[in-house]
Amino acid sequence: HGPARTVGLAQCTPDNMLSLLALTAALASRSAVTPSYLRLRGGDVDTVTNGMALLQVASGTFAFMAPERNIEMYGYDKEPTKVEVAMMRYLAVGQVVLGATSVAGLEGGSKAAQAMSLSGGAASLLACAPVFEALGGPKEPLAAWIAALAVLGKATRAGKVKSVVPGTVLGGIAAAQALVAPDKTWEAYKNKLPATEMALALFSLAGGNLLANTAYVAVADKQGHKKGLCAGLALLAANCVK
């Protein structure tokens, strides 16, 4: 998947991948670096969170609004297919949700992050519904995912669901499908249009983003926002180089 991997995310260009690694290193710094040094260099938790969120939301918004252009900018010299455009947009909305989730966690804690992740996931799938419909697959699986995420997100916001486990399970399942067997998952959803190597690479990258988001919420719930963000950033960086 060499060429495809390099275009999957705006964040996966060399410069932006280095930014992710730098953010991770800054956040993971320990007592050898003083808090004032971290603040001066932009390594405090607020700055790292907002920097990561801005990177995700900006690149995700551009990729969603101009998926063909986003693909072309990173050296893919073929005309993007409908499937590739759909997967780019799916990847893009996941970036926006990831950015919003991290800010929600910073400001409101892990439960707020979980609610944002779930509700944002439902909204992102709904936004992608028109492009998914063009792929010719059945609508019921998409509708089921949207409903499950929306209901669980609302229940989490209302305090009726106090554990992050249900959301972690849903996120883990969706991420595993895309990461471990993107081709088999594509077939399981009975899409009529065939998935190219590029489309499957984008689908897999989207799964990696979802895994990073899920890990952030799960770790933040037990060990706090900073460690959760470290986990999420590390997985994002790994997703870029895998």
Q: What is the mean pLDDT of residues 6-28?
A: 44
Cα separation, 186 vs 152, whole angstroms: 25
Q: Nearest-5° angle of CA 110, CA 179, CA 76?
A: 110
Q: Nearest-5° angle of CA 238, CA 8, CA 216?
A: 40
**Are the CB atoms for 56 and 99 separated by under 8 Å?**
yes
Is the full-model pTM beyond 0.75?
A: yes
Q: What is the pLDDT of residues 141-181, one digit of tens each?
A: 999 999 999 999 999 999 999 899 999 999 999 999 898 89
Cα separation, 45 vs 7, whole angstroms: 29
User: What stretches of the chain adopt beta strand conformation (E)?
Assistant: none
Cα separation, 117 vs 113, whole angstroms: 6
Cα separation, 125 vs 9, whole angstroms: 18
Q: What is the pLDDT of residues 201-232, one digit of tens each?
A: 999 999 999 999 999 999 999 999 999 999 99
- Polymer length in residues for the chain: 242
Q: What is the pLDDT of residues 55-79, one digit of tens each?
A: 889 999 999 999 999 888 877 888 9
Q: Which two tokens stand for residue 85?
A: 């455009």
Query: Of 221, 224, 217, 13, whose CA–CA distance to 119 is shortest?
Result: 217
